Amino acid sequence: MIIVNDFKPGNTFYYENGIYAVIDIQHNKTAMRQMIVKVKAKNLRTGAITDISFTGGDKVELATMNKKKMSYLYDEGTSICFMDQQTYEQISIPKSRLEWELKFLKEGIEVEIIEHEGEILGINLPAKVALKIVSCEPAVRGDTVNKAMKDAILETGLKIRVPLFVNQDEDVLVFTADGTYDSRA
């Protein structure tokens, strides 16, 4: 059990027949009222992000997650196949559970599989991934009033904004948290 006042981002807990991961926490304390702890949490089974309000001092049960390093092997049509490089064990995860993550997966990338009591809940991507630009607009001369950016489409189909000096067939680093450009790879 943990007191909700002690939550930190990344904590996982049970709440109303679901398993949640803490994304953000806000403590609201006034002189006239008891503390309210507002938690932005992700349901690890459905992927839905919800705001949950607790009264200061409430207790919830922590959920323990097992994490395994695995590599992306291939697309099976309705699911994605991953393999443990040490034991050669393979698992498949339905694409419906990996809608955001699919935008960053390419063959051979190493991810962390999140598992709870034998149930696979999802994957953790690296903070940044290197992807190749397959198509991008040519730079427009004189378009430099602000930070000049242009559209680019990556090998996974993700559309991002890149600086004018980046060209087609170059590798770029992309943040997996929000899908934005970081730098050339």
Q: Which domains does the chain show, CATH number per domain?
A: 2-60 (2.30.30.30), 66-124 (2.40.50.140), 128-184 (2.40.50.140)
Give pLDDT, residue 27. Answer: 87
Report residue 134's pLDDT band, with 50, 70 and 90 as the boundaries: very high
Take residue 71 and report the two structure tokens written for it.
Answer: 């590599």
Taken in order 99, 127, 155, 180, the sign of the CA dihedral is positive
- Is the pLDDT at 112 greater than 80? The verdict is yes
The distance of Cα 144 from the centroid of its chain, to the nearest Å, equals: 32
Take residue 176 and report the two structure tokens written for it.
Answer: 């997996």
Question: Rounded to a whole number, what is the largest CA-CA distance in the chain?
Answer: 61
Residues 6+ away with beta carbon under 8 Å from 123: 82, 93, 98, 101, 111, 112, 113, 114
Give pLDDT, residue 128. Answer: 92
Best CA proximity match to 73, nearest among 98, 105, 107, 97? 107
Give the mean pLDDT of 39-50: 86
Look over the chain and give the mean of its residue pLDDT values, rounded to a whole number: 87
CA angle 41, 46, 47 (to 5 degrees): 50
156 and 134 in contact (C-beta within 8 Å)? no
Give the mean pLDDT of 15-41: 87
Residues 6+ away with beta carbon under 8 Å from 56: 4, 5, 27, 29, 34, 35, 36, 37
Give pLDDT, residue 143. Answer: 56
